[in-house]
Amino acid sequence: MPQVVLVNPQIPPNTGNIARTCAATGTELHLVGPLGFEISDRYLKRAGLDYWPYVKLHCHESLEAFEVVHQQRGGRCLGFSVYGSFNYANFQFQASDWLLFGSETTGLPSTVLSTCDATLHIPMFEKNVRSLNLSVSVAVSLFEARRQLGYLQ
């Protein structure tokens, strides 16, 4: 099953909402530091409600620490960016994919994007709207991957 990776998330409620989505779908959630908040943050906990025991949470202190885990487990790293090369809806997901998302303010660093196996974007109709909320982007992308892989049956 695809896994969700948040690189340097900054806003606790977004991460809490993403954790809730991951709990509901049985998806592993990887947080890559530095984080813009403490894991004990009350807004993070509040957004995740009482679902935290169901979150398969992994915290990595740095990109380097995350990369060690990724290399051990294998799979493609798919970076999501407004500048991504592929429309996420037309991309063929695999069960071993890692879905990488950057911080709410800066997105994924170019150094991370350049190491991804592919970069994906969510198309926007209105050109003046730069992006969706991070938790919405994760949910849309994760559910499309799950749909393609037959996990919504």
* Feature table: binding site for S-adenosyl-L-methionine: 102, 122, 131
Which residues 6+ apart lie within 8 Å of 138 measured at CB?
4, 6, 18, 21, 99, 101
Beta-ladder partners of 60: 32
Distance CA 89, CA 114 (A): 21
Cβ count within 10 A of residue 130: 9
| CA 81, 153, 57, 118 torsion-angle sign | negative
Q: Tell me which amino acid residue 109 is.
A: P
Q: Are 119 and 79 in contact (CB under 8 A)?
A: yes
For the annotated binding site, the residues are 102, 122, 131
